[in-house]
Amino acid sequence: LRVLVFLARFVLTPTNPVIRLVPMACEDAQFLYRWFVRIIAVAAVMAGASKVVERMAISEELSLLLSSAGGLSVFLLLIAMIWQSRHKVAKAICQDAADGTCGHSPLRAGFAKSWHIFAILYVIFVGCFWQISALLAGEVTILKLIASLFVIPLFLGIDQWGQRLLKVASGELPETIDLSGDDEPETGDEPDSPDEATSDFEPEVDEKPPAATYVPLVKRLFRIVLVVAMFFLILRLWGID
């Protein structure tokens, strides 16, 4: 539990946006951190109790009941988290749109309004599949359930992080994190000669970095690789060759 909480604090850093690995607001980072700790705490307590009962050979049925109750608690908590964050995620989906409202993209607008329905259905499907496997085989762990539920948000976060790096490489996000805290001094001196005055108004040529030409292709390939990796990771989690 302590290791997982440390990893969540390391990735989200809810109190320090400067070193946060995932680009998000402090409010969103704190929201995700609190819910992650709740889910991990419930899973750790229930799975630990189930493992103790199993190792002490008290009752196989009781061990299976505790494990099943832990899994049920995990995906009920996750459904509650999805429901509470439905509006924030909808805004994030339309964040890259030109007007910020997805008005020019009906498909994206529809997904922004109904993404939580698909997410909840996915959680219910995985939860039911896990419960059936746990009750029939008894070899499915809560860790596999959590990994299956969080694999899609994890890959979405990796995608956003990769897209941000590509924007920086292409010059779309030229600003980096400023650690100095000093503003550039403003000088009110007037130019001494007409030549200097006209030189200040010379048009600047906006030269894009050479990498900007290949950024759209790299973005597409990056997302294809992520989708393929996520697909095979889910298959591996559930023991499918």
Express each pLDDT in 46-73 by its tens digit: 888 888 888 888 888 888 888 888 888 8
Cβ pair 101, 94 in contact under 8 A: yes
Cβ pair 117, 158 in contact under 8 A: no
Cβ pair 31, 85 in contact under 8 A: yes
Tokens 């039911």 belong to 128
Cβ pair 76, 67 in contact under 8 A: no
Q: How far is CA 205 from CA 83, 198, 209, 211, in A?
A: 48, 16, 12, 17
Residue count (the chain): 241
pTM over 0.95? The answer is no
Mean pLDDT of 43-47: 85
Q: Which helix (H) or strand (E) holds 237?
A: helix 215-237
